[in-house]
Amino acid sequence: MKQIFIVFSLVFLAISCKAQQASIHTTTTKEVSATSNPKLVVGIVVDQMRYDYLTRFYSKYGDGGFKRMMNEGFNCKNNHFNYVPTKTGPGHASIFTGTTPKYHGIIGNDWYDKNLKRHVYCVDDDSVTSLGTTRDAGKESPHRMLTTTFGDENRLFTEMRGKTIGIALKDRGSVLPAGHTANAAYWFDFENDGSGLWISSSFYMNELPQWVNDFNTSNITESYFKEWNTLYDISTYTESGSDLNTFEGVFRGKETATFPYDLKQLKDQNGGFAIITESPFGNSLTSDFAIAAIENEQLGQDDFTDVLTVSYSSTDKVGHKFGPNSKEVEDTYLRLDKDLERLLNVLDAKVGKGNYTVFLTADHAAPDVLNYMKSVRIPSGFFNETNMQNELNEYLKVKYGVSNIIVSKINNQLFLDHQKIIDSKLDLQTIKNELGYKLLSYDLIDKVYVTNAFNQFEGRSGYLEDLLSKGHNQKRSGDILFVFDPYVLKEAPWNTTGTDHGTALNYDTHVPLLFFGKGIKHGSTLQKTEITDIAPTISALLGISFPNGAIGQPLKFVLD
């Protein structure tokens, strides 16, 4: 019966095509259409969102944002990352490819390239040119990602008729989700006193569309140089700690990390447009641009499913600076809730209720501020990796007479200079084993794993070993992996206040997963789901091929 109805619907659709075209630009809310697939899939990533932000701030959220997705959609309450490191680049790649760094190759935001003998950034690409800026900030592409996204598969399935567009303040939050065949990926030029423009690269197009130029020449971005005060009376923010404490980072030019923040006054000392990204207004700006893309690119306006990826980066910026227990984080999520409501309302009006599907998740979570953990007597600490590398290199120099065998320490991995070891007629595996024993002697290091001569991870069977294996790429990853004790991070200038992330522990792996809209059941589950299940689920919903490296499974209890 359902198949007969679908055939009839397609005939009816052809007859009523002109009538639908006439109503396509109306701003009134549309009702459900009879097409089989959603006209638009929107994948939302909230950078650094812990699962408990849904429950902690629930009573403060309005009815149209997070609550609407939770109450009208499906809530996977026990959703986790299934690999380490839990970083932004790998997170975004894994969500949209349905696989892990072992296969998609994005093993960190940065890593040591053994062939180039230098560190590389996950999306940098010197073969392309910047669009929208004369700076190198636009020289980015997904060329280092080895597998396809579900957006790629949708483009192939529709013979490139379905569009894919990625949007984020961060380049990696836009480029990786959009995939290899995307029509466009846009990001915000804010780092290193950036231009404050939305930009792209020649990987996608020869020049920016006029609507992007119009957005850039408007006053929308500059309008966010304003006061950031709490959305509601600060005394009602009982879900977070005191506003004045010693656990939070402070903007340059301000004595304390306390409300209010005059962004216009502080911008010159804090990177110009970068300060917008370190406030909730960066998320509002992202919503503004995403809405402009929906309208100007006519997303969801024909019978070929389009894909829009939106990553909200400011939650990560605010979290790193102030930490999960701050009033700044609480206010950022209450304001993001309003931005989500605004985005969903536009989708209702432009695409139509019941015509689109949304999922919302995060690229990683985050622990509480480590110094706060110390203050409440929970074991925690910082590990100095630079001292460790110097000490181990000195040990090898004294024993073997060879300097600087360890060439990099990144993502809790050590990379060795294989050519130097060969030239010195040393045994690679012996060096690895010796360094492994030395690493185990350090306080705050819990476990050490040494790969074999072919850089193949061979950990014992277990939960942690499984996560490490799925995060380990044979050609790209390091020779030795080490794991810190709980609530231990590498010592760095940016994380003595605020927070960081990257581990296999629940405070980094447990993130939200909400499905909402066409083809989605209403309900929730405590059954464990994994981040790699998202792309196969959306692929199953669309009836398209799974991404070519996907290891996750469709969540059939989510699909209607």
For residue range 422-438, what is the model confidence (pLDDT) as tens digits? 999 999 999 999 999 99
Q: Is the pLDDT of residue 24 over 80?
A: no
Domain 36-371+505-527 in CATH: superfamily?
Alkaline Phosphatase, subunit A (3.40.720.10)
Query: What ranges do the domains of the chain cover?
Result: 36-371+505-527, 381-485
User: Residues 514-538: what's their mean pLDDT?
Assistant: 98
Q: Is a pLDDT exceeding 50 seen at residue 10?
A: no
CATH tag, 381-485: 3.30.1360.150
Q: What is the pLDDT of residue 26?
A: 35
Query: What pLDDT score does 2 carry?
Result: 35
User: pLDDT tens digits for 428-484?
Assistant: 999 999 999 999 999 999 999 999 989 999 988 899 999 999 999 999 999 999 999
88 flagged as catalytic: yes
pLDDT at 284: 98
Name 89's Cβ contacts closer than 8 Å, sequence gap at least 6.
106, 108, 109, 122, 123, 172, 176
Selected catalytic residue, list 29, 35, 88, 99: 88
Burial, 116: exposed, middle or buried (Cβ in 10 Å; 0-12, 13-18, 19+)? Answer: exposed
Given this model, what pLDDT does residue 493 score? Answer: 81
Band the pLDDT of 496: cuts 50, 70, 90. confident
CB neighbour list of residue 259: distance below 8 Å, 6 or more residues apart: 228, 229, 230, 234, 243, 327, 328, 331
* H helix runs in 297-384, sequence order: 314-322, 327-350, 370-375
Tens-digit pLDDT profile for residues 268-323: 999 999 999 999 999 999 999 999 999 999 999 999 999 999 999 999 999 999 99
Whole-number pLDDT of residue 460? 81
Task: Kindly state the DSSP code that residue 188 receives in the 8-state scheme.
Answer: E
How many helices (H) and strands (E) the chain has is answered by 21, 20
Are the C-beta atoms of residues 499 and 71 closer than 8 Å to each other? Answer: no
Flag whether pLDDT at 94 surpasses 60.
Answer: yes
Q: Select from 329, 292, 321, 273 the least CA-distant residue to 56.
A: 329
pLDDT at 494: 77
Which positions ≥6 away from 377 have C-beta within 8 Å? none
Q: Evaluate whether 36-371+505-527 and 381-485 have a shared fold.
A: no
| pTM as predicted | 0.93
